[in-house]
Amino acid sequence: MSMRNEEPLEEWLMYVELAHETSQSRRQQGERENRAALKELARAIKATSGKIDFSKVRGGYITRFRGAGLAPKDTPEAQRIYMELWERGGAGASYTGAGLLEGIALALSPATVPFWQQLLDLTKPRDRHALQRRIYAMAALALLAIGKEDAPAETAIVESLQHENEHVRELAIFYLVWVMMALQKEPGAHVLAALAECATEDRAFGPRYQARSGLRMLDRPLPLENEDHVYFFNVQLGKHPATRLIGIRAEQTLEELHYAIQRAFNWDADHLYSFFLNGKLYDERFEIAPPEPDLGMFAFALSDPLMIEDGDDEDAGEDGDGEVRTTDLVEMIAGAKYGLVSDGASDEAGDEDDEDEDDGALLNTATAQIGDLGLRPKHSLRYYFDYGDSHEFSVKLVAIEPRFDDDPYPRVFEAHGEAPEQYPSYDEDWEEDS
């Protein structure tokens, strides 16, 4: 087990709310017990060199379930122990480290901001847990920005929008928007400018797309890119040799692209489907599904906002083998909208208006316009059709050109190879075998 939960901020915010109802004596007892655990960890680290089997360190376990995190005065020692643990490694090191980070975060000490910034840059060869660590660090900064309205913590998140690692930039966008929504805070001009720069200039697709989503959530949507231009997508079903080049205008939607693909391959468009904008199937963060009642692949389930896969993030370059997988940004921030942080009673009519506006920020294939997705040439989408037969189409953007005619779009510009059958003659084979 590598981490205790996936996206920690939601649980941390609920814990902070519940902590107000915990008696002072219970909190103090919890802090003493966590302090004792901290001493056990320090003793184990001092007693040996090299890697440590932390599963055998009795009592060296920091947990909020004692009724408290760490006391603020204990956070410097916890930071020191975490860095030692990170350097040494060993069995149970990641899980033990996660407890340390959670304890430090729940101390809500503004003095920890430099530590969280340090974790964002921390790296070593074959660091399989870099992404998890960065999630905890960014969530902790957001907790300080929300729970303490700590300006340096918010500034640290904004500065991370320029981080060299694209996963850090994505996380910074997500948590920054969460902070703005949780505090019901009007974003400053510098915040909007930074998000707009990510949405239009970032070299990686993920931050571009998430920034555009975040700006919609903040009711500051950007205009369409490449208006009155045509996007040309090369579409192919798996390794089947047939391809179709489809042109579609920037103003048109993924739903129109869906039907264009179906027509291009002479299929019936009679099943559910989803687009995965980063080309990775099952990555909920980038899934756009049809509007109700044609729900997308994962719309029926409430999943953890972040699901982490272990990987060698640093060795594999900026993308890494580890992946941050999340639901759509607007779903992830729903906790802030639905009462994790409340400023008291609100006007019922106003709530209804807000709900309507929020619904507009949730993209589906009928509302997601091609020019609003932050796509660039050579980028590939995954079009997943028929959840039973699981047809996976690659949809590669090959060019964006000014519109040069008044003919209808979308349409096929090139067709190579005979289209694959939607329903191969399995039934006939079955009847012959019978």
Q: Please state the φ and ψ torsions of residue 173, each to the nearest 5 degrees.
A: -60, -50
User: Which residue in 31, 60, 35, 30 sits closest to 45, CA to CA?
Assistant: 60
Residue 274 has pLDDT above 50, yes or no: yes
Q: How high is the pLDDT of residue 58?
A: 66
Half-sphere exposure of 189 (CA within 13 A, CB side): 0
Beta pairing partners, 167: none
List the chain domain ranges.
9-217, 229-341+356-416
pLDDT tens digits, one per residue of 204-242: 999 999 999 999 999 999 999 999 999 999 999 999 999
The per-residue pLDDT for range 414-423, each reduced to its tens digit, is 999 999 999 8
| Alpha carbon distance 276, 289 (integer Å) | 9
How much is the pLDDT for 422?
Answer: 93
**339 vs 294, residue with greater confidence:** 294
> Who's near 80: CB < 8 A, 6+ residues apart?
none
Looking at per-residue pLDDT, the higher value among 23 and 160 belongs to 160
pLDDT band at 18 (very low <50, low <70, confident <90, very high): confident
Amino acid at 262: Q
Residue 2 pLDDT class (50, 70, 90 cuts): very low
**Cα separation of 103 and 26, whole Å?**
16
Please give the CATH superfamily to which domain 229-341+356-416 belongs: MM3350-like (3.10.290.30)
What's the pLDDT score for residue 32? 87
Quick: pLDDT tens for 102-149.
Answer: 999 999 999 999 999 999 999 888 888 898 899 999 999 999 999 999
Rounded to the nearest integer, the mean pLDDT of the chain is 82
| Residue 291 pLDDT exceeds 60 | yes
**Which of 345 and 409 is assigned the larger pLDDT?**
409
- Lowest mean pLDDT segment, chosen from 263-277, 334-348, 369-383, 396-410: 334-348
Residue appearing with tokens 């009679």: 270
Domains 9-217 and 229-341+356-416 share a fold: no
Q: Is a pLDDT exceeding 80 seen at residue 197?
A: yes
Q: What confidence score (pLDDT) does residue 40 get?
A: 84
Length of the chain: 434
The pLDDT value recorded for residue 318 is 37
- Interval 167-184: pLDDT, tens: 999 999 999 999 999 999
Which carries the bigger pLDDT value, residue 246 or residue 298?
A: 246
Q: Does the pTM exceed 0.85? A: no
Q: How confident is the model over 301-358, as pLDDT tens digits?
A: 333 333 333 333 333 333 334 443 344 454 545 444 333 333 333 333 344 444 444 4
Distance, CA of 193 to CA of 158 (rounded, Å): 11
**Confidence band, pLDDT 50/70/90 cuts, at residue 284:** confident
With a cut of 80, say whether residue 425 has pLDDT above it: no
What pLDDT is recorded for position 49? Answer: 79
The correct answer on CATH 3.40.1350 for the domain covering 9-217 is no
Tens digits of per-residue pLDDT, 48-77? 877 877 777 765 667 777 767 788 999 999
